[in-house]
Structure 1
Amino acid sequence: MIWLRFLPFIWALSAKGEFFQFESLSNVSKYYFNYIYCNIWEGDCQPHQDDTSLEVPTDDLWSGFSKDYIQMLSEWYCRLGQCCDTGDCRITNNMTGLEKDLEQKVHGQHLAQAVVLKAVPGFLKNPSPDKGLVLSFHGWSGTGKNFVARLIADNLYRDGVKSECVRLFIAPFHFPHARLLDMYRGQLREGIRDAVRRCQQALFIFDEAEKLHPGLIDAIKPYMDHYDNVDGVNYRNAIFLFLSNIGGLAINEVTLDFWHSGQNREDIGMEDLEHRLRNEALDSQGGFSQSQLMMGNLIDFFVPFLPLEYRHVKLCARDAFQSRGLQYSEGALDEVAKAMVYVPKEEKLFSAQGCKSVPQRINFFLP
């Protein structure tokens, strides 16, 4: 029977009676079989939500065990043939898939593609990173910041953004009231700590990061710093993505200058933008300004997302039709692209909304 596989682990946990009190060994076996199979090694099962005997304990499940013992249990379980190459079946780290997705699905963002394809695989290949990877995505709304963050999650984790290894925080939604800052600090710290305990390679996405209170960023700064551990937890394998509109105007100015001078936008390099983005973040009124994250130089890359042109909007429209299995023509793609608003007023070069509303707009052009 499959439950026999877990007897060594169940025996060990039942011996730790000072951490968890159960009435009988059968209760221990029932709880930990369900917990291990459904939550830790992601078995194909449906936990019984109405069974209070199967509730996850509030204490840290692993706090009573040494790292060597946890490693021994992991190796023992893998010998049963239930593990993946990464050692955690929730983690896929499909770098080939990430490269293909960025090449085929992301349009007009050669800098973001290049930085992500260097930074993420390089970080994951390092067995002992000095700190977690911190990337800050900058640009106008609709240029692809959220989309690229989702592609990273989709290729690093089996369940993408739905994975328990991934946490998404939307600043105005999760932390709307300045008067509740102390409560938000505690919630955010606990959320990050819990995710890393559950999944060593965790991904944290902060959307609309410019609206984060500086105190919130400072509260989680230790998790992105060069520490072996914080309160016994190692955060060095975590990835932090900050998405914001900061620097959007500066990015657009540089892109427009290249266009005026007759240069291709693909000639724009990181040296043309990264320093300006850092200065914009320091001078902003939002969460980055004067935060310890900035003062400590903990952001590894400021990643610019360039404004999208007419040709890029057409490609977004094509992708929207294809994703729904719909037929399209060049004329239909042109009609969708023409329906967008373009700026500046004189050149009408950049889509003011990027590609953000394209999937909804194609409905207007369907028969």
Structure 2
Amino acid sequence: MELLPAKVALVLVHGIDSGADAWDRMIALVRDDPDIHPWVQIENFVYPTGKLEWRPARTFPDIASVADSLRGRIERSLPAGMPIVFAAHSQGGLIVQRFLVQQLEAGRGVELRRVKSVLMFATPNLGSDYLEFLRRVARKLVDNAQEAELRLATREVVETLSKVTNRMVHAREVTATTVPIRFEAYAGLSDNIVKPHSARAVFGSGGSIPGDHSEIIRPTSRDSDAYQILRQALDPVVTESEKPITELRDPGTGRSGVTIGDTGRPLDIALDIANALARVETLQEFNGRNAFKQHFPPYIRNGLSFALGSTAVSDLGQLVRACIVYEDDGRAQLIEAITSWLEQREPAVQRALELIRRVWPEGLRKGDSHPPA
């Protein structure tokens, strides 16, 4: 039994007048948790923010601009299709919502299937009236586009919240402009900046947990409410990524096969392809297989464990099964590595490519049965 080298991206988004260190305690607990750390890629998104910007040549970007910057960070840092769990604090929750709405309005609902959940801690979904008098005075001196959207019931925030509710929270199908996404909204029991009615707003999932506006995302141990909430969001995704690959034999034919996860449906293409690749002269040697592995992106190769003395079929079976996890993207990576690195004039290489194209057509999903030969 082997574990798949799949990962989950935990994307952290801080609030106004904050920064990357807001998540230090949460990150430390994740990295110290052996059950999830090997599977989690942490992306701590940082953007310009503050209370006041006195320099006339500089300004703080508005929420829409920060949301677009978040899109760029995700596209640059995460492989296509990698599952994502968002954890956002305060204004960070508004940024994540705006990012998701922007993607839906661009017709990218299908791509957002990778977003497994959005956790919002002390997010002012209905605005905040904290220190409103002083904020009004400050507005007369210096404008802050971020603070403007934290006021009570601003048009941009209300419109975004409505789209999130209708197109994501209550969505029943994946289309270009709708996608079901689980949102959880949490209020701090001692938070006097974002009151519970604003933090919880229209979201049915969530609740109130210990802490003030800052403490709510600074858990002191794995038993802290905030960390337990994060674990509960990551666990189902990690479990899916950890689904073991088990070698099976068809009792009728005696043919070996592969079942991914608990689908119970044989997917024997991995073994077929591994056997075909094992006939390639270069891949019959350990050093050749190890060099071949390096032509795959980290999210595929990092979980592989080729060892001296292992068979070619065993090593290449690991590699092919890792590619299968990423479906069409994994198929493309496998074909690219074969065509760019192996000797194309060798008949075994061409037979392997022909087999891949025949038994693993584009669009085949992990739980699908082996297509007819």
Give me the TM-score of the superposition, normalised by structure 1: 0.27
Structure with the higher fraction of residues in strand conformation:
2
Structure with the higher fraction of residues in helix conformation:
1
